[in-house]
Amino acid sequence: NAGVTQTPKFRVLKTGQSMTLLCAQDMNHEYMYWYRQDPGMGLRLIHYSVGEGTTAKGEVPDGYNVSRLKKQNFLLGLESAAPSQTSVYFCASSSIENQPQHFGDGTRLSIL
């Protein structure tokens, strides 16, 4: 009963490095989301997807790219990491609009 799984759980990067965060869900959900959580700011939507092969920008998309090649996976990429991207990143998925989102346990990313 995995739900939403995020890898890695922790990562430290140097400024300018690139990396990809992986999110996998086993609930056959159509919608998937990437958020960042910073103290006092709640969750802010980075990018989202409403189905396989589709992506859209959220509230804070700059510096991030995403891909949804398979329905169960949603990848978040940082091409050139910056210290301002130090945050906790959460992936979530949901089925239809009136259903809640299911969250992963987060990826704690520090950029030095």
Partner 1 sequence: AQSVTQLGSHVSVSEGALVLLRCNYSSSVPPYLFWYVQYPNQGLQLLLKYTTGATLVKGINGFEAEFKKSETSFHLTKPSAHMSDAAEYFCAVRNTGGFKTIFGAGTRLFVKA
Q: Does 61 bind partner 1 (CB under 8 A)?
A: no
Q: Does 27 bind partner 1 (CB under 8 A)?
A: no
- Site membership for partner 1, residue 50 (CB under 8 A): yes
Is 101 an interacting residue with respect to partner 1 (CB under 8 A)? yes
HEC states along the chain?
CCCEEEECCEEEECCCCCEEEEEEECCCCCEEEEEEECCCCCEEEEEEECCCCCCEECCCCCCEEEECCCCCEEEEEECCCCHHHCEEEEEEEECCCCCCCEECCCEEEEEC
Interacting residue with partner 1 among 14, 42, 62, 69 (CB under 8 A):
42
Q: Is 103 in the site for partner 1 (CB under 8 A)?
A: yes
Binds partner 1 (CB under 8 A): choice among 11, 20, 45, 71: 45
34 binds partner 1 (CB under 8 A): no
Q: Which residues bind partner 1 (CB under 8 A)?
A: 4, 31, 33, 35, 40-43, 45, 48, 50, 56, 58, 90, 92, 97-98, 100-101, 103-106
